[in-house]
Amino acid sequence: MSAEILINVRPLETRVAYVEAGTLMDLKIERKTSPTLVGTIHRGIVTRVLPGMQAAFVDIGMDKAAFLYVGDIITEDGKDFFDDEEHEQPQPEENSRPSREIKTPIQDLIKEGQHLMVQVAKDPLGTKGARITTHISLPGRGVVYMPYVKHTGISRKIEDETEKERLKKIIQTINPSGGVIVRTAAEGASEETLRADIEYLDRLGKEIQKNYEKKKTSGIIHSELDVELRALRDLMSENVTTVWVDDEEVYKKVSKFVTQLMPKYRQNIILYEEKKPLFDLYDIDLEISRAMERKVWLKSGGYIVIDEAEALVVIDVNTGRFVGKKDLEDTILKTNLEAVKETAHQLRVRNVGGIIIIDFIDMEKLTHREQVMQALEDELKKDRSRTNIMSMSELGLVEMTRKRIRPSLVKTLCQPCSYCDGKGYIKRKNTIANEIFRELEREISLVEYSKKPGVIVHCHSEIVDWVYESEAEALEALEKRLGRSIAFKIEPSYHTEQYEIFSDDN
């Protein structure tokens, strides 16, 4: 299926969209003020070892200490926790622990004050610092190279056994000093191409080692490529017919990069010079806006609701306005199948990960549940991030995980609401009014109010209006019971939930 890559460049932000058959399949956004740390390599200093957590905090020169789990510490043979996937760096799944028993406790592997070469595996998320690993890996076009271990693997996405054997033999012939994971992009590659890739990454590894030895304090010693070059390295394939770039300087940089690394695709790089914004070619900005909504409508009239927490995403499927044509079971099945496609699409575009719970509409027929599960598995095969699906429960719940190494689209583009402080709700006016009445009972009982004729409540105008319009009788009864006059004063700058009580000194 033909695809295009769109690179939209502005002074403070670069966006890369991967579009397949007119549909947005992948989106990367990076801002100059908050670039991703994933893939960067640092000299770190262990600041605290936590035997009870089998983890450690490491100073890598950032504001927050990074988190190092025992399973992310390289062992002498370098093979214990590897998984021959084609990711930027091997690492355990989000919210998981290695299934095998830990051979050596972390307190026997590292000590406080020890210096380590570490690589960022996951950006800081929420209140958590960066997740790091000592499994250093350097991604290239065709391989991921690991300079400090001897390990060979082939991407699971290369399914042809003959091709796998051919690639293994090539790696054995090259006999690199480090470990190699052959990526999907290397399928069909020649020995010459793979050798050039490995030799370049080996030289890069030696340069990083020199930088580590020179640097005596914590801090970065190797940065990853810019987002547009990373995207081309990882996404460029025979399916990509065109790479559009709307900035001349970046166009020259991209052209040079592709000419050196993937010369056969050089003619696919095109400078976009039209007046119409590049992302408007496929309404990508509209798709991004849709991906930031909590409710996403389906074509049939049903909808899904997506709620994202720090390490959990919950997706609820509803029939909405869709009433179907035949019977209830048929309506439910069609809604769930349509929700499967939209859910898989939203996971990719929003780049959400961790534990994901999908609440499908209950289906009585086993065949319908199996049909929905098969459709979900088929749709998730299009996802470049690793996913793991559990079976559907009797209640129609599906548990799954999706690998996450960077903040989601919402976390990247949005911030918690300054008014509700990220809760998603505020107290009702009658709730606040009743809180004020209860607080008045407590305050007036204090000695400092005993000789005062009344009190004044400073609060938001909406609360004042509510009390005088809807709670007048309750206010009058409270004044009689307490033997004090109670007045309200509007404070325009107050939050709806904010109030203060003062004695009336007049």
Calculate the alpha carbon distances from 83 to 87, 152, 174, 276, 377 in Å: 9, 10, 22, 45, 21
pLDDT in tens, 5-30: 999 999 999 999 999 989 999 999 99
Which residues have a Cβ under 8 Å from the Cβ of 148 and sit 6 or more positions away? 74, 78, 136, 178, 205
Work out whether strand 312-318 and strand 303-308 pair parallel, antiparallel, or are unpaired: antiparallel
pLDDT in tens, 332-367: 999 999 999 999 999 999 999 899 999 999 998 899
Q: Is residue 324 scored above 90 in pLDDT?
A: no
End position of a domain, from candidates 207, 223, 239: 223
Tokens read off for 474: 């309750």
pLDDT, position 97: 37
Q: Is residue 504 scored above 80 in pLDDT?
A: no
The DSSP output letter for 278 is: G
How far apart, in whole angstroms, are the C-alpha atoms of residue 47 and residue 59? Answer: 6
Question: Do 76 and 194 sit in the same domain of this protein?
Answer: yes
End position of a domain, from candidates 223, 246, 270: 223
Q: Is residue 430 scored above 60 in pLDDT?
A: yes
pLDDT in tens, 115-142: 999 999 998 876 788 999 999 999 998 9
Mean per-residue pLDDT, 413-437: 91
Overall domain count for the chain: 4
Calculate the alpha carbon distances from 419 to 88, 426, 490 in Å: 39, 8, 18
Closest C-alpha to 137, from 126, 127, 151, 125: 151
How far apart, in whole angstroms, are the C-alpha atoms of residue 425 and residue 419? Answer: 9
DSSP H helices in 215-240: 227-235
pLDDT, position 86: 39
pLDDT in tens, 462-486: 999 999 999 999 999 988 888 888 9
Q: Is residue 378 scored above 50 in pLDDT?
A: yes
What is the pTM assigned to this prediction? 0.81
- What is the distance in angstroms between the CA of the first residue and the CA of the last residue of the chain? 80
Mean per-residue pLDDT, 33-43: 91
Domain range for 28 = 3-34+228-284
Question: Do 56 and 183 sit in the same domain of this protein?
Answer: yes
How far apart, in whole angstroms, are the C-alpha atoms of residue 304 and residue 319? Answer: 9
How far apart, in whole angstroms, are the C-alpha atoms of residue 293 and residue 309? Answer: 14
Mean per-residue pLDDT, 272-300: 93
Question: Do 66 and 187 sit in the same domain of this protein?
Answer: yes
Q: What H or E segment, with its residue span, contains residue 167?
A: helix 161-174
CATH number at residue 267: 3.30.420.60
